[in-house]
A and B are shown apart, each in its own frame.
Chain A
Amino acid sequence: MNTAALGPPALRDPQAHARAGALVAAIVVLWPLLVLAEFKPWVLFEAGNLKVMGSFLIGFLPPAISIEFLGLLLAATLQTLAMATAGIALAWLLAVPLAFAMTPSLSVSRIGPGNAWRRGRALRGVARMVLTFLRAIPEIVWALVFVRALGLGPAAGVLAIAITYAGMLGKVYAEILESGDTRPARALLEAGSGRVVALCYGLLPGAAQELASYTVYRWECAVRASVVMGFVGAGGLGQLMDQAMKMLNGGEASSILITFLLLVLLADALSAALRRLLA
């Protein structure tokens, strides 16, 4: 009816200007950032640099495969897996209630009586701030703090992972829950169901796959993060890597890197299996 009154619409995308503007803005912002970051990839291919990098990498070959070292590697791998798994499990326990509190589509007060929605919104803001705080401080800093309190060893790594990753898991859980179809949960709340039930019947069926694969991905990140934390004495593969690098033992370092590759492949397979299970 309205279009008839205004005549046929012009055959030109009305968003063209806005899109071109966004492109120009992106270049204007990115260019100085690249200059600031001394981004000069062509330096990589200068003859001298290639030679230096080449000789460094050749030092990594062949991978160390002595029985004694493989025994150490296995023990360190198990320690790393234990550290990552325990850390993620603790992080999950922290993240789930915070994400649950933060998801607006599970808010009853938003469709409730009186001014309770103000309190609900404030509470979601607090949960968001807690999550931001948890993940704003890198795990390596937490590890340094906890190594002082708990001494050298994986316990410090577990706590460091738990705190930082709780912040990441909670934020992304809430975003995954919010990004799907939220009507089922809202309809259940409007039919008098509770929040937990609305989550389980309304949101989880649609979000379970994404939640599971993000959790496994974070577990994979925790495995890798344990390298960095090993450098500060939190045990596991990282500590082994630290020793190998300090002793300029490239063969051992490459064995450790291959172990990492296998662990990432394992995480990938686990994630794919979980997605199939939850499909």
Chain B
Amino acid sequence: MSLSFDHIGLVHPNGHRALKQVSLRLAAGEQVAVIGPSGAGKTSLLRVAGTSVRTSEGRVELLGANPWQLGAGGLRRLRARIGMVHQTPPIPPRLRVVTAVLAGRLGTWSTGRALASLLYPADIHGARDVLARLDLADRLFDRCDRLSGGQLQRVGIARALYQMPELLLADEPVSALDPVLADAAVGQLVAQSQATGATLVASLHAVDLALKWFPRIVGMREGQVVFDKPAGEVSPAMLHELYAAEGALLPTQGGASMPLPDAVDEAAVEGARRANVVPLVRPGCR
């Protein structure tokens, strides 16, 4: 098991309950998308998986270990094996792109190597290669404050890819990208998982992206897992219920929300998954 949550609960210090009785088990190498309306607990789930927060209840196991029962050194080594793509990349604006990407491996580098790399980048080739996969190779020596929001978000993805983690977490990794780039970036995350055997968990706002790229979909609402199905078994009715609180509009990557069909239309979902188009259309319009 790469990740195992057993009835975990999370209550923030302000008293807000973010997760309720969430159970989830992921085998090594799985690719899972977490979808659901905003405030559903997707980010909290990923933060638990990234050892950023400690759960209030339940058991957490990551890469075969309970992170909170390890010693300080053990937890640090475990963290180096977990990579996180943050929705807003936590990259200081004055850092150069190459340094920001190389920072992905700071968990495994010695302090001396890390400091020397600030003077002369330790692995320019590695950084360039990973940036090339995200179509950013030409920005290698630019400063991050010269980048657009979408480019910076891709630098954040590049950092996590360069880290080569065994558990790759992504919190809304393409929220600032246009549909074409978003599709390519999610494709790179999935490709990394397939190439390295890393387990991939990504929260996505765009349902069509989730259905297109991920074999397994977890739907969350109000801090709970509503469904956990292979992508082929996710029906429009389930999505309808999941997004009921958002005025029954289904978020897609184009930014436009599509009205949900009144009737279940399995073929539409299936067709969309294959064709990479907006998955749900009114049956009457087809």
| A residues apposed to B, CB below 8 Å | 108-109, 111-114, 116, 181, 183-184, 186-194, 196-198, 200-203, 205-206, 208
Contacts and interface: CB of A to CB of B under 8 A. Distances in A.
A194 B93 CA distance: 21
Contacts of A190: 50-52, 79, 84
Interface of B: 50-52, 67-72, 75-84, 86, 88, 90-95, 99, 103-104, 106-109, 111, 114-115, 118, 163
Given A193-B106, A193-B107, A193-B114, A187 B68 contact: no
B92 A191 contact: no
A108 B109 CA distance: 17
Contacts of B90: 181, 183-184, 186-188, 202
A23 B115 CA distance: 49
Contact of A205 (B51, B88, B92): B92
B248 to A, nearest CB: 15
A116 B72 contact: yes
A101 B94 CA distance: 24
A98 to B, nearest CB: 20
A194 B104 contact: no
A206 B94 contact: yes
A2 to B, nearest CB: 12
A191 B95 contact: no
B181 to A, nearest CB: 23
Contact of B99 (A116, A189, A201, A206): A201
A187 B72 contact: no
B108 A192 contact: yes
Contacts of B93: 205-206
B92 A184 contact: yes
16 contacts: A108-B72, A113-B71, A186-B90, A187-B84, A188-B106, A190-B50, A190-B84, A191-B80, A191-B107, A191-B163, A192-B106, A193-B103, A197-B109, A205-B94, A206-B93, A208-B94
B51 A201 contact: no
B76 A111 contact: no
B75 A112 contact: yes
Contacts of B92: 181, 184, 201-203, 205-206
Contacts of B75: 112-113
A59 to B, nearest CB: 52
A186 B47 CA distance: 12
Given A183-B90, A193-B103, 20 more contacts: A113-B69, A113-B72, A181-B92, A184-B92, A186-B90, A187-B86, A188-B90, A188-B106, A190-B79, A191-B79, A191-B82, A191-B104, A191-B106, A192-B79, A192-B82, A200-B115, A201-B92, A201-B106, A205-B92, A206-B94
B158 to A, nearest CB: 14
Given A197-B114, A201-B118, A192 B91 contact: no
B284 to A, nearest CB: 30
A191 B114 contact: no
Contacts of B109: 197
A106 B132 CA distance: 32
Contacts of B76: 108, 192, 194
Contacts of A191: 79-80, 82-84, 104, 106-107, 163
* Pairs of residues from A and B, 4 with the lowest C-beta to C-beta distance, nearest first: A192-B107, A192-B80, A192-B79, A193-B106
Contacts of B78: 192
Contacts of A193: 80, 103, 106-107, 114
Contacts of A197: 106, 109, 111, 114-115
Contacts of B84: 187, 190-191
B95 A201 contact: yes
Contacts of A114: 68
By CB atoms of chain B within 10 A, which of A109, A116, A190 has the most?
A190
A62 B108 CA distance: 67
A180 to B, nearest CB: 8
Contacts of B72: 108-109, 112-113, 116
A61 to B, nearest CB: 49
A203 B103 CA distance: 13
Nearest to B144: A205
Contacts of B163: 191
A5 B75 CA distance: 46
Contacts of A112: 72, 75
A200 B108 contact: no
A188 B68 contact: no
Nearest to B80: A192
Nearest to A193: B106
Contacts of A205: 92-95
A192 B114 contact: no
A149 B163 CA distance: 56
Contacts of A203: 92
